[in-house]
């Protein structure tokens, strides 16, 4: 007699991604392995006294997603910034930044992420939120950022200076003064250096949040693209504590 399954999901619209048998109604799992895909009757044969039964109520069930290009720590750290995905206007951006600042009082600088393009057009719009501290807002794709005057001054790129890497642009007005728009990593890096990295404990907390978001989105395997030994030590500690709840591959750069 076959060993019972730990989990059986039935009454589902299973999209198997198998060209021969593209659809099914139930899935049985034992440990970390799918042991049966088929009809409810097929999987019911694996039911045991301790099997957890889930009625999917005709919801769609897919294999887990694989994110083949992820920056886990970078993305996790961004979860600690003001989230600007919902902003549709300058006023929205300013409000969300102020709300975040109020909830995280005492920070030496202010950061936001997830902003759409064509909203912020000049650094004065960010100066209105914080004129005496560095402020940096990153676009949703991570390839452009906008900084306030204080950040540009402290980074030494307001009235001169060059990007620290290739294919990067510090956008300037006709007088050569930086507008606040920074394109690509080499232009952003001088401003990023103004913001201290989170503590190791805070990084672990944020990575755990990021992994939970991946799980919630159905991502079961990730390929981290910008790893280093310090990150590897963090991920190893989390793996040993069973906090990395997805298959994980890390590229060392």
Domain ranges of the chain: 7-63, 83-192, 198-252
- CATH assignment, 7-63: 2.30.40.10
Distance CA 198, CA 219 (A): 25
Q: Report phi then psi at 4, rounded to 5.
A: -65, 155
pLDDT given for residue 64 in this prediction: 93
pLDDT given for residue 1 in this prediction: 67
Query: Is 210 in contact with 78 (CB distance < 8 Å)?
Result: no
In this prediction the pTM is: 0.84
Mean residue pLDDT of the chain comes to 96
Q: What is the pLDDT of residues 2-40, one digit of tens each?
A: 899 999 999 999 999 999 999 999 999 999 899 999 999
DSSP character at residue 186: H
Query: Is 225 in contact with 250 (CB distance < 8 Å)?
Result: no
Nearest to 62 by CA among 43, 44, 37, 39: 37
Q: What is the pLDDT of residues 86-133, one digit of tens each?
A: 999 999 999 999 999 999 988 899 999 999 999 999 999 999 999 999
pLDDT given for residue 153 in this prediction: 98
Task: Please calculate the CA angle 211-217-221 and round it to the nearest 5 degrees.
Answer: 60
Distance CA 17, CA 196 (A): 45
- CATH assignment, 83-192: 3.10.310.70
Mode of pairing for the β-strands spanning 247-252 and 219-227: parallel
Strand order in the sheet with 247-252: 65-70, 219-227, 247-252
Q: What is the largest CA-CA distance in the chain?
A: 81
């Amino acid at each position: 007699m076959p060993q019972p399954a730990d989990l059986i999901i039935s009454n589902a619209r299973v999209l198997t991604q198998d060209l021969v048998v593209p659809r099914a109604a139930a899935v049985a799992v034992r440990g970390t392995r799918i042991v049966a895909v088929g009809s409810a009757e097929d999987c019911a044969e694996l039911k045991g006294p301790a099997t957890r039964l889930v009625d999917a109520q005709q919801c769609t069930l897919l294999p887990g997603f694989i994110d083949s290009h992820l920056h886990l720590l970078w993305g996790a750290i961004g979860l600690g910034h003001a989230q600007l995905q919902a902003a549709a206007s300058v006023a929205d951006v300013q409000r969300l930044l102020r709300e975040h600042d109020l909830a995280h009082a005492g920070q030496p600088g202010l950061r936001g992420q997830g902003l759409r393009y064509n909203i912020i057009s000049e650094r004065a719009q960010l100066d209105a939120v914080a004129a005496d501290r560095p402020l940096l807002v990153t676009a949703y794709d991570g390839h452009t950022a906008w900084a306030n005057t204080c950040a540009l001054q402290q980074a030494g790129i307001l009235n001169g200076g060059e990007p620290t890497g290739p294919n990067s642009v510090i956008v300037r007005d006709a007088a050569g003064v930086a507008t606040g728009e920074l394109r690509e990593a080499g232009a952003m890096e001088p401003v990023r250096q103004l913001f201290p990295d989170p503590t190791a404990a805070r990084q672990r907390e944020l990575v755990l949040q990021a992994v939970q978001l991946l799980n919630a989105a159905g991502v079961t395997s990730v390929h981290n693209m910008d790893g280093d030994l310090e990150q590897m030590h963090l991920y190893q500690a989390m793996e040993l504590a069973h906090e990395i709840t997805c298959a994980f591959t890390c590229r060392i750069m």
